[in-house]
Amino acid sequence: MLCLYLNPKQPPHRFLLRESQRPSVMTIEKTFFCLSFSLLSAALLQAVQPDYITYENKRMGTLDTPYLLRTYVPSLELDEEVLAHHSRGFSSPRYSPSNGRLSTSGSYGTIPVIPAAISVSYGPRLAFVWDTTECRLLYAWANGFLDMESHWGSPQSGRRNGNYSARLFGQVFYKAKGKPPLQINGKTHSGQVSYHGNKRIQGHPEFSYSIDGRTITVTIKPGPAAQTVEVQYVSSNESDVLHYHDPKTSFEVIESKSGSVKVLLSPNAAETYHGFKKPNIKIEQASAKVGKTLYTTYGCIACHTLDGSKNHGPTFQGLSNSKREFPSLGVVTADENYLRESITSPNAKTVPTYTPGMMPAYPLDGKQVDSLVLFIQSFK
């Protein structure tokens, strides 16, 4: 880049090399000058800059001081019904950055992102995305937030990565499904809503939008147990009867009075994301040790404890070879085949007192399943 500025044939506004302007055509003196100049400026930069040149790319908030970011986020293949008012975009022709002309062949496809989202981090307990177009909670995750390398550049090189969408890291445990869950006076509103904005009340974000002449204010916070979310809706019209209706997610109504409703959402998804870092879980040989890594990376940890305590799913302690009683099958021993089946076809049998369909099916290969089984068997 610096060399181009020094090349008199090259207009200064052109930043990219054309074939005929590659450095190979430069004279030796010029190349030498450019090289020493670049080294000198790199050394100067080192002297004035500490060991980073951008912000922390994976910053997170805390329970007391949540951190808000307004940025592009992945759409995570949410239902069409959830993103009802989002355009799907269209392909655009490629262009050549060197001459600024559109290309006649090839096109850029669309990128599956939510453009007008507000993402909030409450630290490892909860991160969520609020969509200002649909005015609803889109998804929630734990143990992470956004990896901003695509916008802010890598701390080492300053280089940006991929397209402009941030990537998630952590375990997604809730995803919006179907029509908007709020019913006002018995009616589901799937029409266009109008977003007002968000403000912070004692540091906590509050989102408001208008619908049919009233303002609805929504607050979203971590629930009392891990992997739960508390959502409260308040209407400016105090006589409104608000109901929460979501047949695809298990939830509990914790407060309902004239003009407001508060619910606690349980997990309905389990997807693990690693930001811009590629996970490296190549397995040479199945072992309980590998199983332990998978237990965290695949988010089993979100629902199964190892110490006997109850969570969304049964504990792994003492599970192996214990007895289960199913209404239609009678007593079944949790042997190796049972464990294998529970992991690969979670809906085959539902342990009594637990929610059917809550455990997601994972795309696991043979050695991964073997490792998880060995890991569970190690908790006698």
- Binding part of the chain for ligand HEC, among 140-148, 149-157, 278-286, 341-349 by CB under 6 A, reads 341-349
For ligand HEC, which residue of 274, 292, 346, 367 counts as binding (CB under 6 A)? Answer: 346
**Residue 372 Cβ vs ligand HEC, minimum distance, rounded to whole Å:** 4
Q: Scan for tokens 């003492």, then name that residue.
A: 318
- 175 near ligand HEC (CB under 6 A): no
For ligand HEC, which residue of 324, 336, 344, 378 counts as binding (CB under 6 A)? Answer: 324
Q: How many Å apart are CA 336 and CA 233, to the nearest integer?
A: 46
Do residues 285 and 292 touch, judged by C-beta distance below 8 A? no
65-93: buried (b, 16+ CB within 10 Å) or exposed (e) per residue? ebbebebbbbbbebeeebbeebeeeeeee
Q: Which is nearer to ligand HEC, 53 or 306 (CB)?
A: 306
Q: How many Å apart are CA 125 and CA 144, to the nearest integer?
A: 8
Q: Which is nearer to ligand HEC, 165 or 171 (CB)?
A: 171
- Binding part of the chain for ligand HEC, among 8-16, 154-162, 195-203, 310-318 by CB under 6 A, reads 310-318
**Residue 354 Cβ vs ligand HEC, minimum distance, rounded to whole Å:** 4
**Residue 255 Cβ vs ligand HEC, minimum distance, rounded to whole Å:** 25
Q: How many Å apart are CA 55 and CA 153, to the nearest integer?
A: 9
Q: How many Å apart are CA 355 and CA 272, to the nearest integer?
A: 21
Do residues 337 and 321 touch, judged by C-beta distance below 8 A? no
Q: How big is the site for ligand HEC, counted in residues (CB under 6 A)?
A: 28
Q: Which is nearer to ligand HEC, 111 or 351 (CB)?
A: 351
Q: Which amino acid is at 265?
A: L
Q: How many Å apart are CA 129 and CA 133, to the nearest integer?
A: 12
- 139 near ligand HEC (CB under 6 A): no
- 129 near ligand HEC (CB under 6 A): no
For ligand HEC, which residue of 174, 267, 374, 377 counts as binding (CB under 6 A)? Answer: 267
- 350 near ligand HEC (CB under 6 A): yes
Do residues 185 and 243 touch, judged by C-beta distance below 8 A? no
For ligand HEC, which residue of 34, 76, 226, 343 counts as binding (CB under 6 A)? Answer: 343
- 372 near ligand HEC (CB under 6 A): yes
Q: How many Å apart are CA 341 and CA 339, to the nearest integer?
A: 5
- 362 near ligand HEC (CB under 6 A): yes
Going 39 to 43 to 46 to 49, the CA torsion angle's sign is: negative
What is the distance of C-alpha 302 from the center of its chain?
15
- Residues of this chain that bind ligand HEC (CB under 6 A): 267, 270, 298-300, 302-304, 312-314, 319, 324, 334, 339, 342-343, 346, 349-351, 354-355, 358-359, 362, 372, 376
